[in-house]
């Protein structure tokens, strides 16, 4: 079984795993749902669904403006701590 498939089974979806990886390796960046969709090669509706889940988990935060939603890592989440 491929690693991504295994992680998807553990975490619930391949889109969620890809998004977690994106945020974990780009901790200081903000992304729109469209950018996340492009970078993870995932459908934008799946990205929106998983963004909501990751926000409820406390892994990311959302910032809305009139035109789009920005997502960024909540750096106080334990996975972001390196020590």
pTM of the model: 0.82
At 17 the three-state DSSP class reads: helix
pLDDT at 61: 92
Nearest to 46 by CA among 77, 5, 6, 15: 15
| Domains with residue ranges and CATH for the chain | 3-78 (1.10.10.10)
pLDDT of residue 80: 65
Inter-residue contact 64 to 30 (CB < 8 Å): no
Q: What is the pLDDT of residue 79?
A: 66
Distance CA 3, CA 67 (A): 36
pLDDT, averaged in runs of 10, over the chain (83 residues): 72 90 90 96 95 90 89 80 57
């Amino acid at each position: 079984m491929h690693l991504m498939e295994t992680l998807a089974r553990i975490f619930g979806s391949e889109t969620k795993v890809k998004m977690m990886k994106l945020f974990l390796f780009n901790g200081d960046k903000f992304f729109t749902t469209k950018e996340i969709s492009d970078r993870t090669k995932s459908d934008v509706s799946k990205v929106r669904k998983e963004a909501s889940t990751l926000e409820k988990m406390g892994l990311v935060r959302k910032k809305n403006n009139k035109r789009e939603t920005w997502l960024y890592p909540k750096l106080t989440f334990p996975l972001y701590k390196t020590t």
